[in-house]
Structure 1
Amino acid sequence: MHIAIAGYGSAGQAASLLLARDGHRVEVFERVAAPGPVGAGFLLQPTGMGVLLELELLDAALQLGAPVRRLFGDLPNGRRIMDMRYAELQPDLCGLGMQRGALFQLLHAARSTATQLHFDAPVQSVEPELGRLTTADGRQHGPFDLVIAADGSGSQLRDALGPQRLNRPYPWGALWCLLPAGDWPYADELRQRYRGARRMIGLLPVGRRGADPSPHLSFFWSLPTSDFDAWRERGMDTWRSELAELWPEAREVFDGLPADPADLARASYRDAVLKRWHHGRLCAIGDAAHAMSPQLGQGVNMALLDALALRDALRAEPKIEAALPRYAAERRAHVSSYQLWSRWLTPLFQSDHDAIARLRDLLFLPLSRLPGSRGQSLSVLSGIQQGLFGRRRINPGLLQHLERHQR
């Protein structure tokens, strides 16, 4: 098939690799002139790692990233709120903290030379029935057998799929940057510090990138998007004092924060739920299909799984009109539960609701340790939750790779 992909983020990159390897003729249209990663770091879950194994990139990713075996969150007084370990689900299982730049370079280097990359070519509109798209310079491209919208949470092509169940911005966002890990003692743990639901700080080990051998941490600070400018006006010294007061154990790490507020990336998020994931020859993957809060750390994970599911649907069904419903049914069953959990959990950690935060502080850890609840929490964490009670199978090859890597 002749396939167009709008967007060259994780979803678009993975889809272009998987589809080109199956012999499809792929053209990618990316809006920026010099594409690169957006954001500092992320936590790849075991299901997403399985896609990298399919792409024969997992060994390289494990060399670059940092295995994460525990998720831990507490209050300034030391009270634990969250404490989960992947090994409780399966021995040797872990997540993988990576720098976004490392994954981008890994996927970009593996691209097929037959894939055409059109940079500085934002797609403005698409004709789903005809498979034609128009870029910002007024040029028409196609017709294509399939057009894939992989243009992120702010997708320009989502409207062409028809009315949506939900499409709204989250009022809370985050500041992000990479910091040298130094002597930070929690090299295999995502650590978070909370004060109510209004303050959340995180440090995630994300390994290295390219020729830089030094390990890094991805730092994030939660705040309402409406407060971005006020935060900057308060000045870095005031902010550093607040950080040191909230998390004195991380003071040496915070010494690496940039002096200029402009050097911290600002991130905002959306909640998007589609009524249909495909229309005519158009389908959506990644955040264009199911943008959600980053609270569960599933963004890149879901993007990779979407790309693999679309590849498999096209293998199983030679005709687009049968392949796209198959793809949508497969991914809806997985994504829907995460959208629900994300919508429910986000106010517990990012909101103005102090009463909800007090209940979280009292009940979150005890409830998560109940026998049935513990398994559910670990399934959601690792990306294998399927519907309300089902679970996706973890690739046995992944477990073998992780076992060898830990040796």
Structure 2
Amino acid sequence: MGGTAVVVGGGIGGLAAAIGLRRAGWETTVVERGGGPDDAGAGISLHANGIRALDALGVGTAVRAAARPQYTGGTRTPGGRLLTRMDGAALERESGTPIVGIPRAVLHRLLRTALPAGALVGGAEVTSVDRSDASRVRLTAGDTVLDADLVVAADGVNSRLRAQLFPGHPGPVHSGSTVLRAITESPVELRTDFELTWGRGAEFGHIVFADGRAEWHAVFNSPAGVRHPDPLAEVRRRFGDWHDPIPALLAATRPGAVLHHDVNELVTPLPSYAVGRVALLGDAAHAMTPNLGQGACQALEDAVSLAAALRAGPSVESALRRYDAERRPRSQSVARAARRAGRMGQQLSHPVAIALRNGALRLAPSRVTVRAILRHADWTPPRPD
């Protein structure tokens, strides 16, 4: 089965969906509102399930070559005391691949490279979707009208298409946290590939890239919409006296490079990821908090599963029902687990609760951490019937 498809949104999930659809025989166009995602100046960790999805899309080898494996790391207190150790080698033995870190801009570039010239249409914001014709879907983007046999809504946490398809859904809500993050301007000497530090209602973490630069993120409890005139100065105020190498990471950062986003999520799960000939994918379907590092990985799973379902057919509607049945239970379960992880991790602020959590973490063997990661990363791409 094939036809014409329009993917709305040119982020990781949208680009991956377009690659998968083209490999399944669909003529696919990606419509992107801006010049690129607003998080392109950040980094990302990809777990085994994300890497397997990229392999299924034919870009896994290129991503591995550009990424850095994460073998060393763990979780610490602000004073530097180790709470848990991440055994990256054990993870690789169990899953067949290590967790890897890569700049988002590099991942976006590799995904775009896998698409033919002209497949991406930039500067076009989809303003409406018309499903009155049961055999086609019509999208309006400014003065442009696009007709397609299939539409993939991959337009992010604030998805306009989701709001039109589910007008009674409350949409995304603020998680109670905000994140400031940046990539260092130059390489930084670091003792670990990956690290998290938990304080009272706050988290600081870093991942190292293949070129020696690092991405850091600072997450803390905050009302929505609060912005700081000098974001880097605010991070220094909150985290500057935490253990090394946090001061060094901040010192290697250009002030203008700091991104600031409130962490929003879909707390109310969608009743379906498919409406007629429209499929929802990635954050548009299941925006989750970043506490498990699974947001992009789940979007990549979506992309592979959608393409496999459409290969199997026999119709677009039946394929999308299969996609929904496969993806909605798993991705919504991961989203709930991410929310729980945030409440017990970064968002925890009561001193007694923090002391109890830290004590439990110090006593847990490293294999417990490995099992916790594998619980969500254990996924194999589907085989079409």
Alpha-carbon contact 2:163-2:171 (below 8 Å) kept? no
Distance (Å, rounded) in 2 between the aligned partners of 1:89 and 1:346: 22
Q: Counterpart of 2:191 in structure 1: which amino acid?
A: P
SS of the aligned residue for 1:141 comes to strand
- Which residue matches 2:374? 379
- Which residue matches 2:323? 327
| Pair 193,352 (structure 1): closer, same or farther in 2 beyond 3 Å | closer
SS of the aligned residue for 1:124 comes to strand
Distance (Å, rounded) in 1 between the aligned partners of 2:290 and 2:346: 11
- Which residue matches 1:35? 36
SS of the aligned residue for 1:321 comes to helix
C-alpha root-mean-square deviation of aligned residues, in Å? 2.6
Q: Are 1:181 and 2:187 counterparts?
A: yes
Matches within 5 A, 1:203-218: 203-207=206-210, 214-218=211-215
Alpha-carbon contact 2:305-2:381 (below 8 Å) kept? no
- Which residue matches 1:361? 358
Deviations 1:25-48 (A, max 9, x none): 11221111x225624101011111
Q: % of aligned pairs identical?
A: 25
SS of the aligned residue for 2:240 comes to helix
SS of the aligned residue for 2:86 comes to strand
Q: Are 1:167 and 2:172 counterparts?
A: yes
Distance (Å, rounded) in 2 between the aligned partners of 1:269 and 1:129: 35
- Which residue matches 1:124? 127
Distance (Å, rounded) in 2 between the aligned partners of 1:345 and 1:279: 31
Match of 1:268 among 262, 267, 274: 262
Distance (Å, rounded) in 2 between the aligned partners of 1:380 and 1:293: 17
Q: Which moved more, 1:263-272 or 1:100-109?
A: 263-272
Q: After TM superposition, give the deviation of residue 10 of structure 1 in Å.
A: 0.6
Unaligned runs of 5+ in 1: 208-213, 385-391, 396-407
Distance (Å, rounded) in 1 between the aligned partners of 2:38 and 2:110: 11
Q: After TM superposition, give the deviation of residue 192 of structure 1 in Å.
A: 1.4
Alpha-carbon contact 2:4-2:149 (below 8 Å) kept? yes
Unaligned runs of 5+ in 2: none
Deviations 1:316-358 (A, max 9, x none): 1220121011111111232132112111111223336324433
Q: Counterpart of 2:39 in structure 1: which amino acid?
A: V
- Which residue matches 1:83? 85
Distance (Å, rounded) in 2 between the aligned partners of 1:230 and 1:316: 48
Alpha-carbon contact 1:12-1:150 (below 8 Å) kept? yes
Q: Counterpart of 1:183 in structure 2: which amino acid?
A: E
SS of the aligned residue for 1:248 comes to coil
SS of the aligned residue for 2:209 comes to strand
| Pair 370,49 (structure 1): closer, same or farther in 2 beyond 3 Å | closer
Q: Are 1:100 and 2:101 counterparts?
A: no
Q: After TM superposition, give the deviation of residue 71 of structure 1 in Å.
A: 4.4
SS of the aligned residue for 1:269 comes to strand
Query: What TM-score, normalized to structure 1?
Result: 0.83
Q: Are 1:109 and 2:104 counterparts?
A: no
Distance (Å, rounded) in 2 between the aligned partners of 1:104 and 1:204: 18
Query: What TM-score, normalized to structure 2?
Result: 0.87
Q: After TM superposition, give the deviation of residue 301 of structure 1 in Å.
A: 0.9
| Pair 303,129 (structure 1): closer, same or farther in 2 beyond 3 Å | farther
Distance (Å, rounded) in 2 between the aligned partners of 1:36 and 1:370: 36
Alpha-carbon contact 2:15-2:111 (below 8 Å) kept? yes
Q: After TM superposition, give the deviation of residue 90 of structure 1 in Å.
A: 4.8
Q: Which moved more, 1:88-97 or 1:176-185?
A: 88-97
Q: After TM superposition, give the deviation of residue 81 of structure 1 in Å.
A: 2.8
Q: Which moved more, 1:132-141 or 1:285-294?
A: 132-141
Q: Counterpart of 1:153 in structure 2: which amino acid?
A: V
Q: Counterpart of 2:116 in structure 1: which amino acid?
A: S
Match of 2:289 among 268, 290, 293: 293
SS of the aligned residue for 1:246 comes to coil
Alpha-carbon contact 1:15-1:311 (below 8 Å) kept? yes
SS of the aligned residue for 2:212 comes to strand
Distance (Å, rounded) in 2 between the aligned partners of 1:255 and 1:29: 38
Alpha-carbon contact 1:176-1:221 (below 8 Å) kept? yes
| Pair 312,89 (structure 1): closer, same or farther in 2 beyond 3 Å | same
Alpha-carbon contact 2:153-2:162 (below 8 Å) kept? yes
Q: After TM superposition, give the deviation of residue 168 of structure 1 in Å.
A: 1.6
Q: After TM superposition, give the deviation of residue 204 of structure 1 in Å.
A: 0.7
| Pair 82,166 (structure 1): closer, same or farther in 2 beyond 3 Å | farther
Q: After TM superposition, give the deviation of residue 82 of structure 1 in Å.
A: 3.0
Deviations 1:227-257 (A, max 9, x none): 8756436x75574365331123443332212
- Which residue matches 1:400? none
- Which residue matches 2:5? 3
- Which residue matches 2:217? 220
Alpha-carbon contact 2:80-2:244 (below 8 Å) kept? no
Distance (Å, rounded) in 2 between the aligned partners of 1:270 and 1:227: 9
Match of 1:62 among 61, 64, 69: 64
Matches within 5 A, 1:36-55: 36=37, 38-39=39-40, 40-55=42-57
Distance (Å, rounded) in 2 between the aligned partners of 1:106 and 1:135: 28
| Pair 238,151 (structure 1): closer, same or farther in 2 beyond 3 Å | closer
Give the aligned length.
370
Q: Which moved more, 1:44-53 or 1:344-353?
A: 344-353
